[in-house]
Amino acid sequence: MLEQIENHVAQKSFDDCIALSNQFPGPASSKYAISALNLGAECAQQMALAAQGEILGQIEDHFNQKSFDDCIALSNRFPEPSSSEHALAALNLEAKCILGNAQKLADPPETYYKDAIETAQGIFDMQVAGKSVDASILEDVRQKIDNWSEEILTVSSGYYDKYRQNNNREDLYEAVRILKAIPSDTSAYAEVEARLENWANEMLQTAKELYNTSSRYADSDKALEMLSLIPGGTSAFQEAQDLIPQLKQHEREMRTAQQNANVALNEGRCQTASRYVAEIVRSPYKAWKTEGQEFDEAVRKCEAPLPYTIGYFTAYSSSETYRFKGFKDQRLKISMISDDFATHLTLYDPDGNVLAQDHGDFGNRNSELRATLSETGKYTIRAAAYSESWFDEWLNHNQRGYYSLEVTAREPD
């Protein structure tokens, strides 16, 4: 039987060799049984190598056809033994396929250079049975990464030039982002460090200038974003990191004051709004100062619902109406003054009902109303010349002349 097994080995009938060796009769300790066992193991190994050779051929086909994903998938399922030459060949083919995929990533769009480099760098760690990828392939990987790094420098410069021309933050972000993809062990890295240092300092100064001098408070968000893009390892990085929380705290304080001022103005609480606006005006930054000045105008309008008015009555025109928005619980003071005739003031609520009135006489021509408003809405003031009878008013005796009207508002104590 041992002779038959040897014949199967010589004829490369490995299945028959293994089957017959498994049937070899005892005793198992005899020299013939041991020889049969060894021959069976050799046949099993030869069968495994034959299977590896077949799969290796398929991997080579995938590589030649640039079916890199299929090549990698089949390599990952490569059968034992891992110590064979076939297994090492499969490892080298897998490395070439990974490099092929990395090259695809490096092709347009250029923003995927970082992914290409990271994919290729994984090849350096590949091993099988303690053996690494062939040195010539590793050198090809290094050359590819060097070439991509040089291309990244060019692409990054293009983005930065576009940023300088158009002030588009997205271009600046891309310039820094892809530049940081260049590995530190490449020949291009010294240029990376120099560019990042220069750009970081420029970004820091631009962000500070934008925050300090812009008249639009929305630009503060742009400044903060630019500070956050300053790369680590540069001399400007720490100052940017210190500034960001300070400016964010200031932004929160200003936006809170802004919201509170808006709420107060919408409720007619002019003096409360004025206190919040004062906080905004005290900001050391131009954008918020500008915002505070605009709010200050709104506060003045709140405190004087009608602008100070100088009017003139002519014959057959001895009254005028004025409308304004009043707020619940506002305290109004309305004054009408004239040196030419006695005045008459009437305040109507939003439903047209008389809320208050006052008139002057020949001793004191002026009128003054004080009222607390019961609801929010449109109120009406009628400013008129006062006559003791409709007949006198109709005749317009001494009713011609100038008058002034002033309305001030205060919130409840």
Answer yes or no: are the C-beta atoms of 384 and 318 closer than 8 Å: yes
341 vs 311: CA distance, rounded Å: 13
The residue extents of the domains of the chain are: 2-151, 188-303, 309-410
The three-state secondary structure class of 413 is: coil
Answer yes or no: are the C-beta atoms of 195 and 179 closer than 8 Å: yes
Q: DSSP for 35-69?
A: HHHHHHHHHHHHHHHHHHHHHHHHHHHHHHTT-HH
User: Between 113-121 and 169-179, two packed helices, what is the crossing angle to 10 degrees?
Assistant: 20
358 vs 345: CA distance, rounded Å: 5
The predicted model scores a pTM of 0.55
Q: What per-residue confidence (pLDDT) applies to 396? A: 47
Answer yes or no: are the C-beta atoms of 324 and 268 closer than 8 Å: no
175 vs 163: CA distance, rounded Å: 9
Q: What per-residue confidence (pLDDT) applies to 391? A: 54
Element (H, E) at 255: helix 237-266
| C-alpha separations of 54 from 45, 69, 74 in Å | 14, 19, 12
Q: What per-residue confidence (pLDDT) applies to 403? A: 93
93 vs 142: CA distance, rounded Å: 17
Q: DSSP for 190-231?
A: HHHHHHHHHHHHHHHHHHHHHHHH-S-TTHHHHHHHHHHTSP
- The mean pLDDT values, 10 residues at a time, for the chain of 413 residues are 74 76 79 79 80 90 94 90 88 95 79 83 92 94 92 90 84 82 89 90 88 77 85 91 94 93 91 93 89 89 89 80 92 93 93 93 83 93 79 56 92 72
Phi, then psi, of 10 in degrees rounded to 5: -60, -35
**CATH fold for domain 309-410:** Jelly Rolls (2.60.120)
How many Å separate Cα 240 from the centre of its chain? Answer: 17
